[in-house]
Structure 1
């Protein structure tokens, strides 16, 4: 299931929408902020049924 959760950029503090394929299971990947272009590490946790449970952000350059 493709979901579009909103997350807060750890650099500029803006709320952005990201696209997540929850059927792919737990994931960790980098996506650039659409506002400030800084790399954000997204940690996605799903349940066994392919539903998004949590998504956390952290700066890649920390």
Structure 2
């Protein structure tokens, strides 16, 4: 159950699309920005109705 979400890269500010696995209620993982290639730490939470929310922050703090 994958859903596309749009986030803003915390490094370059570009809007990028990521795929979120909505079958997992909470997860954190690193994905590289498709524009600037910097590592983004993503925190994903899926609500009971299946709607994902994504928080993005720089991996290197």
Task: State if a TM-score over 0.5 links the two structures.
Answer: yes
User: Which sections of structure 1, spanning at least 5 residues, go unmatched?
Assistant: none
Pairwise CA RMSD of aligned residues? 1.1
- SS of the aligned residue for 1:43 comes to strand
Matched, 1:28 2:35: no
**Equivalent pair of 1:28/1:43 in contact (CA under 8 Å):** yes
- The size of the alignment, in residue pairs, is 61
Shift of 1:25: 1.8
- SS of the aligned residue for 1:24 comes to coil
State the 4+ residue runs in structure 1 displaced beyond 6 angstroms.
none
What TM-score does the superposition give when structure 1 sets the normalisation length? 0.90
What TM-score does the superposition give when structure 2 sets the normalisation length? 0.91
- From the two aligned structures, give the one with the greater strand fraction: 2
